[in-house]
Amino acid sequence: MPGTAHAEGNPIIRHVYTADPSAVVYDGRVYLFTGHDEAQPDQQAYIMREWLCFSSSDMRTWQSHGSPLRALDFSWAQGDAFGSQVIARHGKFYWYTAVTHATIAGKAIGVAVADVPWGPFRDARGTALITNAMIDAPPGSMNNLDPAVIIDDRGQAYLFWGNGQAYYARLNENMTELDGPIQKLDLPGFQEGSRLYKRRGWYYLSYGSGMPEKIVYGRSRDLEDPWEFCGILNEIAGNCQTNSGFIIDYQGRSYFIYHNGALPGGGSHHRSVCLDYIYFNPDDTIRRVVMTSEGV
């Protein structure tokens, strides 16, 4: 339900359980996109039917825009609103999502589009962008999780994703078709949760590693070149098996948005999005982010 809440510290969203954050800056505001953990208190499962949108002009007071997109808005999907990311291009907003495919066993990646970040979003293709049939994965595989998207300095868009195995592919100018073959990436300890960020000529690729997950990262001068492994970015959240971090710049500061299980009743299936500052070393590596209750 739309409304406004001011959070003193972390978690930044407290009226619902949220997970798998990503964000964009538009018209002077940060728009935060999350999954919605809807499991009952006694359920130990990822029950996620929709994605949520919030916005802020100060990173402390967050306005809810409700749910601009649900898993079943993709007619070919069976459900499961898992990890996702929104990116702006050509005056549109493209939302890349992981869902369960209704007819091709396993997870699949879809893309929705809207004119404004709060939606509503609609399926941009009418079919999945990525399925298990395209990556030669075993039936029922969860390989197609956590899409991440970035546009390089040449204007070429890329999609990264994976669970257990990391993949990437170029995207067409229209952002709804692949522009070349799917490539495998060999990343140390890769589990899931690919996220991308660019700063001062470096591309940074972070991801969840191990189980329970910590976030580690690598960097490269080019998205198609090998990645230099740089170590841990964010440690294990004590009461949550997963972790997912997204970096964004806003009003001269850099922020790390992530999830843990810090809300009352929280845990692996009842997660909550948090926010802390992120800092860089003189050599452009990233200082390890420490989760705080104070936030920003």
CA separation for the pair 216, 223 (Å, rounded) = 17
Element (H, E) at 265: none
Pairing of strands 253-260, 3-6: unpaired
**Contact at 8 Å (CB) between 207 and 218?**
no
The pTM is what?
A: 0.96
CA separation for the pair 21, 286 (Å, rounded) = 19
Helix and strand totals (H; E) in the chain? 1, 22
Q: State residue 238's pLDDT score.
A: 80
Query: pLDDT, tens digit, for every residue of 166-223?
Result: 999 999 999 999 999 999 999 999 999 999 999 999 999 999 999 999 999 999 999 9
Q: State residue 137's pLDDT score.
A: 87
CA separation for the pair 124, 113 (Å, rounded) = 6
Query: pLDDT, tens digit, for every residue of 117-133?
Result: 999 999 999 999 999 99
**Contact at 8 Å (CB) between 219 and 206?**
no
* 234 SS3 class: strand
Query: pLDDT, tens digit, for every residue of 82-117?
Result: 999 999 999 999 999 999 999 999 999 999 999 999
Give the domain ranges of the chain. 3-277
Looking at residue 84, the DSSP 8-state letter turns out to be: E
Q: State residue 139's pLDDT score.
A: 83
Pairwise pLDDT comparison (156 vs 139), residue with the higher score:
156
Q: What CATH code is assigned to 3-277?
A: 2.115.10.20
As annotated, the active-site residues are: 20, 192
Q: State residue 1's pLDDT score.
A: 42
Q: State residue 71's pLDDT score.
A: 99
Residue 74 pLDDT grade (very low, low, confident, very high; cuts 50, 70, 90): very high
Q: State residue 2's pLDDT score.
A: 56
